[in-house]
Protein backbone atom coordinates (compact mmCIF):
# COMPACT_ATOMS: atom_id res chain seq x y z
CA UNK A 1 0.00 0.00 0.00
CA UNK A 2 1.51 3.33 -1.10
CA UNK A 3 1.33 6.26 1.31
CA UNK A 4 0.28 9.62 -0.14
CA UNK A 5 0.41 13.00 1.57
CA UNK A 6 -1.51 15.87 -0.04
CA UNK A 7 -0.69 19.55 0.53
CA UNK A 8 -3.39 22.21 0.18
CA UNK A 9 -3.77 25.92 0.87
CA UNK A 10 -7.48 26.36 0.20
CA UNK A 11 -10.49 24.30 -0.79
CA UNK A 12 -8.37 21.58 -2.35
CA UNK A 13 -10.76 20.49 -5.09
CA UNK A 14 -8.02 18.44 -6.73
CA UNK A 15 -7.38 16.79 -3.38
CA UNK A 16 -11.09 15.93 -3.24
CA UNK A 17 -10.91 14.44 -6.75
CA UNK A 18 -7.97 12.24 -5.77
CA UNK A 19 -9.63 11.07 -2.55
CA UNK A 20 -12.89 10.30 -4.33
CA UNK A 21 -11.06 8.42 -7.08
CA UNK A 22 -10.01 5.81 -4.53
CA UNK A 23 -6.74 4.90 -6.25
CA UNK A 24 -6.17 1.14 -5.77
CA UNK A 25 -3.07 0.30 -3.79
CA UNK A 26 -2.85 3.74 -2.17
CA UNK A 27 -3.99 5.42 1.01
CA UNK A 28 -4.17 9.13 1.73
CA UNK A 29 -2.13 9.24 4.93
CA UNK A 30 -2.57 12.96 5.64
CA UNK A 31 -3.71 16.28 4.27
CA UNK A 32 -1.46 19.14 5.34
CA UNK A 33 -2.09 22.87 4.92
CA UNK A 34 -0.09 26.00 5.53
CA UNK A 35 -3.35 27.80 6.35
CA UNK A 36 -5.43 26.87 9.42
CA UNK A 37 -8.61 28.10 7.68
CA UNK A 38 -8.18 25.97 4.55
CA UNK A 39 -11.49 24.35 3.61
CA UNK A 40 -9.66 21.27 2.42
CA UNK A 41 -8.91 20.38 6.03
CA UNK A 42 -12.64 20.08 6.72
CA UNK A 43 -13.08 17.68 3.82
CA UNK A 44 -10.14 15.58 5.04
CA UNK A 45 -11.51 15.35 8.57
CA UNK A 46 -14.99 14.45 7.28
CA UNK A 47 -13.41 11.60 5.32
CA UNK A 48 -11.35 10.23 8.18
CA UNK A 49 -8.02 11.57 6.91
CA UNK A 50 -5.61 13.20 9.39
CA UNK A 51 -5.75 16.97 8.80
CA UNK A 52 -2.62 18.83 9.87
CA UNK A 53 -1.68 22.52 9.92
CA UNK A 54 1.87 23.82 9.55
CA UNK A 55 1.19 27.55 9.54
CA UNK A 56 3.84 29.35 7.46
CA UNK A 57 3.22 32.53 9.45
CA UNK A 58 4.69 30.87 12.53
CA UNK A 59 8.15 30.62 10.97
CA UNK A 60 10.69 33.41 10.44
CA UNK A 61 12.01 32.15 7.11
CA UNK A 62 10.89 30.06 4.16
CA UNK A 63 13.64 27.58 4.96
CA UNK A 64 12.42 27.13 8.54
CA UNK A 65 8.86 26.56 7.32
CA UNK A 66 9.95 24.02 4.72
CA UNK A 67 11.94 22.07 7.32
CA UNK A 68 8.92 21.93 9.62
CA UNK A 69 6.68 20.97 6.70
CA UNK A 70 9.03 18.17 5.66
CA UNK A 71 9.07 16.86 9.23
CA UNK A 72 5.26 16.75 9.28
CA UNK A 73 5.19 15.02 5.89
CA UNK A 74 7.87 12.47 6.73
CA UNK A 75 5.99 11.40 9.85
CA UNK A 76 3.70 9.59 7.39
CA UNK A 77 6.50 7.95 5.39
CA UNK A 78 5.06 9.02 2.04
CA UNK A 79 5.81 7.32 -1.23
CA UNK A 80 4.27 10.33 -2.99
CA UNK A 81 3.65 13.96 -2.06
CA UNK A 82 0.92 15.72 -4.03
CA UNK A 83 0.59 19.50 -4.30
CA UNK A 84 -3.10 20.35 -4.74
CA UNK A 85 -3.36 24.12 -4.77
CA UNK A 86 -0.50 24.53 -2.32
CA UNK A 87 0.32 28.21 -2.70
CA UNK A 88 3.88 28.29 -1.45
CA UNK A 89 7.13 28.49 -3.41
CA UNK A 90 9.20 25.60 -2.09
CA UNK A 91 12.92 25.79 -1.41
CA UNK A 92 15.40 23.82 -3.47
CA UNK A 93 16.34 21.75 -0.41
CA UNK A 94 12.71 20.71 0.06
CA UNK A 95 12.27 19.79 -3.60
CA UNK A 96 15.48 17.74 -3.64
CA UNK A 97 14.31 15.83 -0.55
CA UNK A 98 11.23 14.61 -2.46
CA UNK A 99 12.78 14.36 -5.91
CA UNK A 100 10.92 11.90 -8.10
CA UNK A 101 7.97 11.63 -5.72
CA UNK A 102 6.57 15.18 -5.73
CA UNK A 103 3.73 16.02 -8.14
CA UNK A 104 2.01 19.30 -8.95
CA UNK A 105 -0.81 20.39 -11.23
CA UNK A 106 -0.67 23.69 -13.11
CA UNK A 107 -3.57 25.36 -14.95
CA UNK A 108 -1.90 25.75 -18.34
CA UNK A 109 -0.28 23.67 -21.05
CA UNK A 110 3.26 23.98 -19.77
CA UNK A 111 5.71 25.33 -20.74
CA UNK A 112 3.15 27.96 -21.77
CA UNK A 113 2.07 30.41 -19.07
CA UNK A 114 4.02 29.32 -15.97
CA UNK A 115 3.27 31.18 -12.77
CA UNK A 116 0.04 32.98 -11.89
CA UNK A 117 -3.01 34.32 -13.79
CA UNK A 118 -2.75 31.65 -16.47
CA UNK A 119 -6.31 31.98 -17.78
CA UNK A 120 -6.06 35.75 -18.15
CA UNK A 121 -2.74 35.45 -19.95
CA UNK A 122 -4.07 32.75 -22.27
CA UNK A 123 -7.00 34.97 -23.24
CA UNK A 124 -4.73 37.98 -23.75
CA UNK A 125 -2.43 35.90 -25.96
CA UNK A 126 -5.35 34.84 -28.14
CA UNK A 127 -4.53 31.12 -28.02
CA UNK A 128 -7.05 28.65 -29.45
CA UNK A 129 -6.43 26.00 -26.78
CA UNK A 130 -5.59 26.04 -23.10
CA UNK A 131 -5.48 23.34 -20.47
CA UNK A 132 -3.75 21.80 -17.48
CA UNK A 133 -0.52 19.92 -16.79
CA UNK A 134 0.51 17.42 -14.12
CA UNK A 135 4.27 17.43 -13.70
CA UNK A 136 7.03 16.32 -11.39
CA UNK A 137 8.29 19.22 -9.31
CA UNK A 138 11.82 20.53 -9.76
CA UNK A 139 13.61 23.54 -8.31
CA UNK A 140 12.65 25.59 -11.39
CA UNK A 141 9.08 26.83 -10.93
CA UNK A 142 6.55 25.04 -13.18
CA UNK A 143 9.32 23.51 -15.26
CA UNK A 144 9.37 19.87 -14.15
CA UNK A 145 8.90 16.80 -16.38
CA UNK A 146 5.37 16.58 -17.77
CA UNK A 147 3.31 13.52 -16.80
CA UNK A 148 -0.05 14.25 -18.43
CA UNK A 149 -1.87 17.19 -20.00
CA UNK A 150 -5.49 17.95 -20.84
CA UNK A 151 -6.49 20.37 -23.59
CA UNK A 152 -9.64 22.49 -23.74
CA UNK A 153 -10.75 24.87 -26.47
CA UNK A 154 -10.81 28.61 -25.85
CA UNK A 155 -14.31 29.57 -26.98
CA UNK A 156 -15.60 32.88 -28.34
CA UNK A 157 -16.84 34.99 -25.45
CA UNK A 158 -14.74 33.19 -22.84
CA UNK A 159 -13.62 35.13 -19.80
CA UNK A 160 -11.32 34.02 -16.99
CA UNK A 161 -14.15 32.42 -15.04
CA UNK A 162 -15.66 30.37 -17.85
CA UNK A 163 -12.25 29.23 -19.05
CA UNK A 164 -11.11 28.32 -15.54
CA UNK A 165 -14.22 26.18 -14.97
CA UNK A 166 -13.52 24.24 -18.16
CA UNK A 167 -9.87 23.71 -17.23
CA UNK A 168 -10.65 22.73 -13.63
CA UNK A 169 -12.98 19.97 -14.80
CA UNK A 170 -10.05 18.48 -16.71
CA UNK A 171 -7.72 18.87 -13.74
CA UNK A 172 -10.08 16.67 -11.76
CA UNK A 173 -9.73 14.00 -14.47
CA UNK A 174 -6.00 13.98 -15.03
CA UNK A 175 -4.63 14.39 -11.50
CA UNK A 176 -6.13 11.15 -10.14
CA UNK A 177 -4.89 9.42 -13.32
CA UNK A 178 -1.33 10.66 -12.78
CA UNK A 179 -1.44 9.50 -9.15
CA UNK A 180 -2.73 6.10 -10.25
CA UNK A 181 0.11 5.72 -12.76
CA UNK A 182 2.65 6.63 -10.08
CA UNK A 183 1.20 4.14 -7.60
CA UNK A 184 1.23 1.44 -10.28
CA UNK A 185 4.92 2.12 -10.92
CA UNK A 186 4.32 3.03 -14.55
CA UNK A 187 6.13 6.38 -14.62
CA UNK A 188 9.83 7.00 -15.15
CA UNK A 189 11.83 10.09 -16.05
CA UNK A 190 14.48 9.73 -18.74
CA UNK A 191 17.80 11.56 -18.80
CA UNK A 192 16.35 14.11 -21.24
CA UNK A 193 13.62 15.01 -18.75
CA UNK A 194 10.79 13.27 -20.58
CA UNK A 195 8.35 11.12 -18.63
CA UNK A 196 7.74 7.63 -19.98
CA UNK A 197 4.43 5.87 -19.32
CA UNK A 198 5.08 2.14 -19.35
CA UNK A 199 2.49 -0.21 -20.74
CA UNK A 200 0.81 2.43 -22.87
CA UNK A 201 0.99 2.96 -26.62
CA UNK A 202 0.60 6.58 -27.66
CA UNK A 203 -1.81 7.27 -30.50
CA UNK A 204 -0.55 9.09 -33.57
CA UNK A 205 -3.73 10.98 -34.41
CA UNK A 206 -3.59 14.77 -34.47
CA UNK A 207 -6.42 17.25 -33.98
CA UNK A 208 -6.90 20.97 -34.29
CA UNK A 209 -9.07 23.66 -32.73
CA UNK A 210 -10.99 24.92 -34.66
CA UNK A 211 -11.40 21.68 -36.62
CA UNK A 212 -10.06 21.66 -40.17
CA UNK A 213 -12.58 21.87 -42.98
CA UNK A 214 -12.37 18.46 -44.75
CA UNK A 215 -13.44 20.09 -48.03
CA UNK A 216 -10.84 22.82 -47.97
CA UNK A 217 -7.79 20.72 -48.84
CA UNK A 218 -4.28 21.46 -47.61
CA UNK A 219 -3.69 25.20 -47.78
CA UNK A 220 -0.76 25.28 -45.36
CA UNK A 221 2.10 27.69 -46.06
CA UNK A 222 5.40 28.29 -44.35
CA UNK A 223 5.47 31.36 -42.14
CA UNK A 224 6.54 34.46 -44.02
CA UNK A 225 5.88 33.03 -47.49
CA UNK A 226 3.23 33.79 -50.06
CA UNK A 227 2.54 36.66 -52.40
Catalytic residue ranges: 106
Give yes or no for a contact between 118 and 106, defined as CB atoms under 8 angstroms apart.
yes
Amino acid sequence: MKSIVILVSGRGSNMEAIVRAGVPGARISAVISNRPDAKGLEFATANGIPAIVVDHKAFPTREAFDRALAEAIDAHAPDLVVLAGFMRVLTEEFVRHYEGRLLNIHPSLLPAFPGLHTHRRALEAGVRVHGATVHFVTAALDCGPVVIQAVVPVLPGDDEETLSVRVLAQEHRIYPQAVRWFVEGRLSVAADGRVALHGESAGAAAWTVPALDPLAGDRSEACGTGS
